[in-house]
Amino acid sequence: MKIHKQGHGIITIAFLLLGGLCTLFVMTIPWIWLWAILVLAAAVFFFLIVYFFRVPKRSINIQSDGVLSPADGKVVVIEEVEETEYFNDKRIQISVFMSPLNVHANYNPIGGKVSYFKYHPGKFLVAWHPKSSTENERTTMVVKDDKGREILFRQVAGAVARRIRWFQNEGDQVGQGEEMGFIRFGSRLDIYLPLDAKIEVELEQVVKAKQTVLGSF
């Protein structure tokens, strides 16, 4: 396991601030039991910050005709919707919600060429709100594989997530399971499959990035 580069600065600042607070507790609080509790609480908080930015070592379950989950989390939406930004037709939307305890690195569900990319500034509704896919801050990315099949997926910010990062742009050649972005502090990924795709997951199912197959062509 390693720590994601997006967390290096935050972890360093947290270490310095919490270390300073712990030193202050020890020097100014006369009751050992009280400063011990405060120091322990600071240590737990620091551990949670480090834990949030973890990136576990994990193999890629390559699927030439399958769509991998781009994120760790829970499937909260499987429904037929009208996709109006790129396809302008009906698609099956699968949404994966990431809690603050999930790994927050995001990965390509298929490999191919990035045929479309756009960043949308927006609101910060809770990630499970029905309008979050169209009104929240988000990115939209479409990858076309070597057979001409396209998958659209979105990073969607939530009420707590205030920082979306992406590491690829239109025209890039990308691999299935390669890292494509990161969202800080809880959010969701929306993936849009064609209507004839075979859905391989169920609502409330816990999925893992790079390994769980969401659907197949």
If 0-12 CB within 10 Å is exposed, 13-18 middle and 19+ buried, where does residue 16 land? exposed
Rounded average pLDDT over 170-188: 88
Average pLDDT, the chain: 86
Cα R_g (the chain), whole angstroms: 20
CB 25 within 8 A of CB 35: yes
Q: Which helix (H) or strand (E) holds 165?
A: strand 164-166
Rounded average pLDDT over 99-107: 87
Range picked from 36-45, 160-169, 193-202 for highest mean pLDDT = 193-202
Catalytic residue selected from 59, 64, 187, 216: 187
pLDDT of residue 213: 96
CA–CA distance, 195 with 10 (Å, rounded to integer): 42
pLDDT of residue 214: 97
Q: Where residue 46 falls among pLDDT bands split at 50, 70, 90?
A: confident
pLDDT of residue 157: 80
Residue 123 DSSP code: B
Q: What is the pTM of this model?
A: 0.83
Q: Is 187 a catalytic residue?
A: yes
- Which of 20-56 are b and which e, b meaning 16 or more Cβ less than 10 Å from the residue's Cβ? eebeebeeeeeeeeebeebbeebeeebeeeeebbebe
Report pLDDT digits (tens) over 119-156.
Answer: 988 665 655 555 555 567 889 999 999 999 999 999 98
Share of the chain above pLDDT 90, in %: 50
If 0-12 CB within 10 Å is exposed, 13-18 middle and 19+ buried, where does residue 1 land? exposed
CB 174 within 8 A of CB 112: yes
CA–CA distance, 172 with 131 (Å, rounded to integer): 29
Residue 18 DSSP code: H
